[in-house]
Amino acid sequence: MKHVAVMTAYKDFPMLEQSLLRLREFGVDVFLHIDRKSTFSASEMNAISQLCVKVRSDYSVPWGGYEHLEAIVKLMQDIVRTGRHYDYVHTISGQDVIVHSLDTRPEYWDGTIYMKSIPREEFPDNVEVRIRRRNLLRRFQKWKKPWQFADFLLGKVQDLSGLGRKGLPSGTPLHKGEVWLSLPYKVCAEIVSQPRYLGILAELKSTYIAEEFFFQTAIMNSPHASRVNTRNLRYTDWHSGRGRPAFLDETDLSPILKSGNIFARKFSTEKSTALLDMLKHAPSREVGGSG
């Protein structure tokens, strides 16, 4: 089996380098997008490029921005254009770490799509608001209060005027989940190449946090929907109160290994160095399979 990772990153060079080194150790190729806002030095960028098949820096990516989705899709298209043989494509961030060799879990790679996904009828109210309102200021710095206020006012105008959307213009049923997923290569190539799926991508351009909708909506409205396992093979701590998600530390070692997941997130140089060192010495036989 040959695996490739599509990675997006923007900071914490030591952690990114360690993540890339582990991927290389386990034989995973990497196609990487570095946020245009990144302050990595020339020497750091050179070190990164030595560990990747391809490095792009096309977009300045605001949090939750459509540009993040564009960067991921463009890297997937790069993979397709290489003509290289891959079996699975995994999307990860520069703060994610591969836990153990993918070869220890050959039963996972049977054509299953690992992707969190829920249908629109299960969306919470705040997500429905995101669907209804067009993200008209998506290119602006919304962490700055004047832009936040302008965004709020535009949202209210859309609500009161009835100009908000009811869904995608095409009427395609929406599904939602995290952008971190694992796809068979052939499914990935289809989703980022065929016009009907790229049409969904274009329709999401003015959607808040569009990355949460594209792959789920495309795949769940494709012949591949029955192959989806909503366990996405990522260990993430949303519930300990240390952050959403938490930056992992050495107390997470046992849960990570017992989870049977392939990746874990999020890591930082400041909080996760000890855990990363422990993972380097954890034997593969300790990895569980409970999910």
Q: Tell me what pLDDT residue 283 has.
A: 62
For the chain, what are the domain ranges?
Answer: 3-120+171-286
Question: What is residue 141's predicted lDDT score, i.e. its pLDDT?
Answer: 56
Indicate the residue type of 195: P
- Sorted by sequence, the CB contacts under 8 Å of residue 93 that are 6+ apart come out as 7, 8, 9, 180, 265, 266
> Which pLDDT belongs to residue 287?
42
Cα 168 to Cα 210: distance, rounded to the nearest angstrom: 12
Segment (H or E) for 119: strand 118-119
The fold for domain 3-120+171-286 equals Spore Coat Polysaccharide Biosynthesis Protein SpsA; Chain A (3.90.550)
Q: Which H or E run includes 156? A: helix 145-161
**Are 262 and 233 within 8 A, CB to CB?**
yes
Regions in the chain scoring below 70 on pLDDT:
139-144, 283-291
How far apart are alpha carbons 67 and 204 in whole angstroms? 11
